[in-house]
Amino acid sequence: MSVTIKTEHEIELMRESGHLLEKVHDGLIPYIKPGITTKELDRIGEEMIRSLGCIPNFLNYGGFPGSFCISLNDEVVHGIPSEDKVIRDGDLVKIDAGLIYKGYHSDAARTYAVGEVSQEARQLMDVTRQCFFEGIKYAKAGNHLNDISKAIGAYAAKYHYGIVRDLVGHGIGTHLHEDPQIPNFPQKRRGVKLIPGMTLAIEPMINLGCPDVAWLDDEWTVVTMDGSLSAHYENTILITDGEPEILTLTK
């Protein structure tokens, strides 16, 4: 699949899709408390998505059994919502969500600290979020994809964190995953040239320890190989003639 350039009309739909997803993320925040199960969060979130007239795009994607990926602590991404997983004080909770609005996908992830977390956990969260913002400084027409990857990787490297290499960001549109792939570390090639109308899901996944990850036997949950904490932050953005527009974060 080649990289798609969205028309004005498509951009309008992508924008609405992103804004609705931001609403879902924000709506879930009050529920991310000790005692709730990740299954219950998933149920509440799915209801929000459907009440907005949208479809959860993760549900049944490749057979994924939830509407949200909810990953705790050393789980990097793709945690399956479960009745056996209870949120506890001190957890790092990663909520990855996506929806389809009139055929157009949005995708965004946040990491939350529940109650008191360690200073190093707090820094990992903050740096991972900042990696996204460092990356999109280069998300401008005429630049190349690797400019974004380099900036994300360079910022995480300053803190000697492990940048996950086995999972990457992606183009997005009428499909959840479109070309191009967007690594969070520098590449040998400069990658595709950025053109107004491209919509991209940029998503640093950063570990406190080594960058290596493993897949659990549930075939979905990705964990850090060394058991260290991991953080994830993602937004769907639009390449414009000027500054990039963050479709899943308006405030």
Smallest gap from residue 101 Cβ to Mg ion (A): 16
Of 51-59, 197-205, 214-222, 225-233: span binding Mg ion (CB under 5 A): 197-205
* Conformation bin of residue 243: beta by default, left when phi > 0, alpha when psi is -120 to 50: beta
Identity of the residue, 201 or 229, whose beta carbon is nearer to Mg ion in the bound complex? 201
Smallest gap from residue 201 Cβ to Mg ion (A): 4
Identity of the residue, 15 or 117, whose beta carbon is nearer to Mg ion in the bound complex? 15
Within 87-146, the residues that bind Mg ion by CB under 5 A are 107
Of 15-23, 110-118, 193-201, 236-244: span binding Mg ion (CB under 5 A): 193-201
Alpha-carbon distance 123 to 85, whole Å? 25
Alpha-carbon distance 44 to 38, whole Å? 10
Asked whether position 201 contacts Mg ion by CB under 5 A, the answer is: yes
Identity of the residue, 75 or 203, whose beta carbon is nearer to Mg ion in the bound complex? 203
Alpha-carbon distance 142 to 47, whole Å? 40
Smallest gap from residue 187 Cβ to Mg ion (A): 18
Asked whether position 222 contacts Mg ion by CB under 5 A, the answer is: no
Smallest gap from residue 54 Cβ to Mg ion (A): 16
Alpha-carbon distance 195 to 240, whole Å? 7
> 66: which residues sit within 8 A by CB, 6+ positions away?
39, 42, 58, 59, 80, 81
Identity of the residue, 201 or 213, whose beta carbon is nearer to Mg ion in the bound complex? 201
Identity of the residue, 91 or 203, whose beta carbon is nearer to Mg ion in the bound complex? 203
Judged by CB under 5 A, how many residues of this single chain contact Mg ion?
3
| Bond prior to 56 in cis (omega within 30° of 0) | no
Supply φ then ψ for residue 239, to 5 degrees: -80, 130
Alpha-carbon distance 147 to 142, whole Å? 10
Smallest gap from residue 176 Cβ to Mg ion (A): 7
Positions in the binding site for Mg ion (CB under 5 A): 107, 201, 203
